[in-house]
Amino acid sequence: MTEDHPLISLVYCSSATQTFSDGELADLLATSRRSNNAHDVTGLLLFREGEFVQILEGDRYDVEEAMKRISADPRHNDIRILLEEPIHARRFADWTMGYQPMIVPAPGEVHGYRDTFEDLRMGDHDMVGRALMELTMWFRVRESGAELSA
């Protein structure tokens, strides 16, 4: 991070232009992880029923370049920047791209379960910020629990 290139976090959502098989999604992840690693971009990707939500963090220039690549990717449609903010430290410093498939639980199984990303498209900056913080906390707790059980 430098004064000319501050550290930022950017959250976007998009719709897939195609149906992804598990293999195609794994290929997309592998390619994205290599690119993110090469450009020092970290973050998190969520994919559910044809919808992507991704958090990218890194040097402003590198994150903007990543967004240019994503915007040019014909597998993405209706790309919307939900939140862009300066950060002092990375939330996903060790993840070139953490990934979590979103599986629908049985009705009533999980209190407060988010079954769609549609409300994120509304552009309510406060709501998106809160959702990002909750997601970050959830993944950090899961990650530390996995380390403790290993």
DSSP 128: H
71 pLDDT band, cuts 50/70/90, is very high
Q: What is the mean pLDDT of residues 135-142?
A: 60
Q: Quickly list DSSP for 83-97.
A: EEEE-SS-SSTT-SS
In a domain, 2, yes or no: no
The pLDDT of residue 14 is: 92
The CATH number of whichever domain residue 42 belongs to comes to 3.30.70.100
Cα 36 to chain center, whole Å? 12
Q: What is the mean pLDDT of the chain?
A: 76
In a domain, 73, yes or no: yes
The pLDDT of residue 27 is: 87
CA atoms of 8 and 1, how far apart (whole Å): 9
Domain count, the chain: 1
In a domain, 144, yes or no: yes
In a domain, 38, yes or no: yes
In a domain, 107, yes or no: no
In a domain, 22, yes or no: yes
- Give per-residue pLDDT as tens, 95-134: 766 565 555 555 555 444 445 555 565 555 566 666 666 6
* Residue of higher predicted confidence among 140 and 113: 140
The Cα-based distances of 134 to 36, 76, 113 in angstroms read 23, 25, 12
Residue 49 reports pLDDT greater than 70: yes
Residue 6 reports pLDDT greater than 80: yes
Residue 17 reports pLDDT greater than 80: yes
- Give per-residue pLDDT as tens, 20-35: 888 888 888 888 888 9
In a domain, 143, yes or no: yes
Q: Reduced to 3 states, what is the DSSP secondary structure of residue 33?
A: helix
In a domain, 77, yes or no: yes
* Residue of higher predicted confidence among 114 and 91: 91
- Phi, psi for 59 (deg, rounded to 5): -60, 140
- Please name the residue that has the structure tokens 């059980």: 149
